[in-house]
C-alpha cells in the first residue's frame, strides 16, 4: 500500500507543492495517486485527475479543447464558465474558482504536444508564484519521464518542481 509514500505525497500537497511522480509502466503510479487523492479529499482539498494520453500528435487547438473538456468534466460541480482555448484562459480558469484548493493530477504528462509544452509549463509556473490569485493549490505530473527529460531546452520554466519516485514493489519468490 506504500503508506510512507502516500504520507510523503500528502505532505507535499499540504505545502502546496508542484511535483512529478514518475516510474516505469506497471509500477503502481495510478494506484498510488488514486490513494493520494482520496487521502487529500479527507483534508478538504478538491481533487482533479486528467490525462494527456493520446494527445501527443494533436494540434494546439485540439489540445486546448480536450484540456477544457476534461477540466470541466472533473470540476463540473463548481460550474466554471471560463472556456480554455489558450494558456491565458487556463490561468483565468483557475482564477475563477473561489474558496477551493484544487489538487490537479495530470496523468501521462509526456503525452502533451510539443507545440504547447513550454506555454503550459510557464502557465503552471505563473500559477505557482501567484497562488493567492489561483485555486490550483498543488500539481502532480505523472508519467514515465521526469520534467528534465521532457524539456528540450536547457532552461525549464518548471524549476519549482519536486519529484517522488515510485519504485517497483519487491516480488516475492515462490519456490
Q: Is 54 left (phi over 0), alpha (psi -120 to 50) or beta?
A: left
Q: How far apart are CA 151 and CA 55, in angstroms?
A: 17
Q: Phi then psi for 165, rounded to 5 degrees? A: -110, 125
How much is the CA Rg of the chain, to the nearest whole Å?
16
Q: Which grid coordinates belong to 74? A: 472533473
Tens-place pLDDT, residues 124-160? 999 999 999 999 999 999 988 666 665 554 435 455 4
Instruction: Give pTM, 2 decimals.
Output: 0.86
DSSP state of 86: S
pLDDT at 2 over 80: no
Domains, the chain: 3-165 (3.40.50.300)
Q: Which grid coordinates belong to 79? A: 460550474
Amino acid at each position: 500500500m506504500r503508506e510512507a509514500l502516500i504520507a510523503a505525497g500528502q505532505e507535499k500537497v499540504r505545502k502546496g507543492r508542484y511535483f512529478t511522480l514518475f516510474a516505469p509502466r506497471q509500477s503502481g503510479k495510478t494506484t498510488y495517486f488514486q490513494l493520494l487523492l482520496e487521502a487529500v479529499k479527507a483534508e478538504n482539498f478538491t481533487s482533479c485527475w486528467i490525462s494527456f494520453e493520446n494527445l501527443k500528435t494533436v494540434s494546439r487547438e485540439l489540445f486546448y479543447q480536450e484540456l477544457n473538456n476534461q477540466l470541466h468534466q472533473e470540476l463540473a460541480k463548481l460550474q466554471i464558465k471560463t472556456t480554455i482555448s489558450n494558456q491565458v484562459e487556463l490561468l483565468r480558469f483557475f482564477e475563477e474558482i473561489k474558496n477551493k484548493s484544487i489538487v490537479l493530477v495530470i496523468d501521462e504528462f509526456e503525452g502533451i504536444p510539443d507545440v504547447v509544452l513550454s506555454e503550459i509549463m510557464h502557465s503552471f509556473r505563473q500559477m505557482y508564484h501567484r497562488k493567492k490569485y489561483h485555486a490550483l493549490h498543488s500539481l502532480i505530473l505523472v508519467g514515465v519521464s521526469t520534467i528534465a527529460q521532457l524539456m528540450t531546452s536547457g532552461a525549464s520554466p518548471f524549476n519549482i518542481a519536486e519529484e517522488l519516485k515510485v519504485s517497483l514493489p519487491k516480488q516475492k519468490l515462490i519456490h
